[in-house]
Structure 1
């Protein structure tokens, strides 16, 4: 008896990716400093990192990580509900809640884990979710895992969102609005005031992913949703402007208690290790002192956007440190990315399925550690490519 290859589907899937020129692979690199890396022996100026304030190489964070490792060990050794809640975890959560102007905070091991498991814990099959079409895949995974009914409204189209809310006045167990504050692939923002108003008027839970704003925008850099009444849950991450690892949710004390008891992604995973907690503590301590760096980052972003637009490039509705150069065609996008690498610049091509078909782009992510000379180098390289 001849048996079928039980992994034939893998060969088929990978072949499809090869044929469509969308096969992804890992390309290891070695970081040098906040904005330079080495890949395949070549030093590259990095415009693809989310280390928006350069804190991943900050000596205060490194020292804190080393100190916490020496004092508490290399791992938390258990889940939070067993024996993995050290005082340092609880103290950090209290400081995060205070910094964000919220009642409570709860640590998670990653932004993807937080979104994919918190939403699944909040919703059931009788729930309705209305989410922006451009939300991160992690939010979609959480919604799908819940079994809730969901509709995606056009990007930042609050008229369509309100129409969905009006049509939803039936027997749903709960209604939830999910969106990002700063969109990860487009660098534009949601209309937070309008979302708060809609959630209040229609009795909807407002769930915001603030990952790309935390550290960069808002009061003391704690995000666009910090200190905002009317927002029910906010997800923040430490792997971007905080320069370390992990995530958190801020919410009411009652919601925190609920998640501790009903959120599988929190209950059944080992707590963040002490070194990570130490680095986060150090970053949180520094945040109020980094206003000059945030302002410089905004100025640099505005300058780069203006120059790119002067060359005729489409940067979408970006108004933050994330600047897409939307080229549309995948071949063209790969060509520019390859050219920039030849010039010693890392600027990764972002293609479907990460972004919608016909919107392939170079996603430029700026850091406050990028100097004017770094930007001039990038601008010059793109300008040269434009006339080749």
Structure 2
């Protein structure tokens, strides 16, 4: 027995070495534990702290209407689907959500998945294969990257948010593939910048390429009442595939592909997470429908989110912090090196502010940061308290002038 344990220990020793290397370089991710519902304030590791971490853009994750909708369906549908969508897991609620989402986003059809990550893993390999090519923004999300790799298609990266480079890459690849797909994030989650989707559409249509946008951080944020980046640019009916998630602004969990009805029908037949992973539980589906109800009823939460973002960004810049290139509520506080970012995060936590450090491989080396995620749930008093904490820590660590 001891010999067997020694063999296992030797076989996995490399993992311990890698973990120690992460700690030495300031890249080890210490995961904190939350003991409360999501909101502007959280119970984290036993203390109450201001929440600048969550993707809860509109404060819907603990909204009474969503909680009530989830609770209401439990007695009828139970807690688990017990099947994949294609066998015995498609509830009438799933179809209602897909109809409501299509109407909300002004598209022909929609199909839902277990997460936004799963939606990308479903869509990309179903649309392109080994004879095809994908033109992908160099800073696309990991789920897009993984979907591209799974497809087997040739991946050609173009310079971040650069339509001219995209067109150049397309011209260089002409005649070497069967089908082509252009894919980009809508809002880039680490920097908060927006893809020039109108220009990308013009190029993709010029060369008869399919166009896909992952709008995970745009839904509920951009466009009229949070209808997303396609609405923001007025491109309804022109983008073949819109991937979204319900785990951010919608406050629940799950993902979707919306857009062309042919694409949606095809994904019901060939989207692997749809075919091989259990359906989203009824309670989550009902809560997501309730989120759409809230968004369709008023733009108040979206308006408040943007008001908070404008105020916080302006005040942070006034203090002397570098907030990068963000034009959305995502607010990166650029610090450079990972050890500094981690120390900054720890000292913020001691000041009662929960704002995690982000470093490599989530962002490139040398571009570590604190990423502040603002929410409509934050009051002006919350924001001011956070600003005061950032100012104290920034001066203490020499990031801004004392």
From 57, 63, 84, give the equivalent of 1:58: 63
Equivalent residues of 2:25, 2:339 under 8 A apart: no
Alignment of 1:18 onto 2:23: yes
3-state DSSP of counterpart to 1:31: coil
How do 1:1-388 and structure 2 match up within 5 A?
5-32=10-37, 34-226=39-231, 228-388=236-396
TM-score (norm 1): 0.96
Q: Over residues 159-200 of structure 1, what are the superposed CA-to-partner deviations in whole Å (9 max), with x where a residue is unaligned?
A: 111111111211311111111111111111111211111111
Q: Over residues 320-355 of structure 1, what are the superposed CA-to-partner deviations in whole Å (9 max), with x where a residue is unaligned?
A: 110101111222212221121111000100011110
- Aligned-partner Cα distance in 2 for 1:33–1:231: 33
Shift in Å at residue 21 of structure 1? Answer: 2.8
Q: Over residues 185-232 of structure 1, what are the superposed CA-to-partner deviations in whole Å (9 max), with x where a residue is unaligned?
A: 111111121111111101111110001111122133121124623201
Shift in Å at residue 66 of structure 1? Answer: 0.7
3-state DSSP of counterpart to 1:150: strand
Q: 1:381 to 1:26 in 2, by over 3 A?
A: closer
TM-score (norm 2): 0.93
More moved, 43-52 vs 253-262 = 253-262
Shift in Å at residue 138 of structure 1? Answer: 0.5
- Aligned-partner Cα distance in 2 for 1:252–1:295: 29
3-state DSSP of counterpart to 2:11: coil
Runs of 4+ with >4 A deviation: 1-4
Equivalent residues of 2:215, 2:244 under 8 A apart: yes
Aligned residues: 388
Shift in Å at residue 32 of structure 1? Answer: 4.7
Equivalent residues of 2:42, 2:50 under 8 A apart: yes
Shift in Å at residue 369 of structure 1? Answer: 0.9
Equivalent residues of 1:116, 1:140 under 8 A apart: no
Structure 1 vs Structure 2 CA RMSD:
1.6
- Aligned-partner Cα distance in 2 for 1:115–1:13: 29
3-state DSSP of counterpart to 1:44: strand
- Aligned-partner Cα distance in 2 for 1:150–1:32: 40
Q: Over residues 348-373 of structure 1, what are the superposed CA-to-partner deviations in whole Å (9 max), with x where a residue is unaligned?
A: 00011110111000100000011111
More moved, 303-312 vs 36-45 = 303-312
- Aligned-partner Cα distance in 2 for 1:41–1:217: 35
- Aligned-partner Cα distance in 1 for 2:19–2:389: 34
Shift in Å at residue 14 of structure 1? Answer: 2.2
- Aligned-partner Cα distance in 1 for 2:135–2:251: 31
More moved, 16-25 vs 35-44 = 16-25
- Aligned-partner Cα distance in 2 for 1:160–1:325: 28
Equivalent residues of 1:118, 1:265 under 8 A apart: no
Shift in Å at residue 301 of structure 1? Answer: 0.6
What runs of 5+ residues in structure 2 fail to find an aligned partner? 397-402
- Aligned-partner Cα distance in 1 for 2:335–2:7: 47
Q: 1:133 to 1:79 in 2, by over 3 A?
A: same
- Aligned-partner Cα distance in 2 for 1:182–1:340: 26
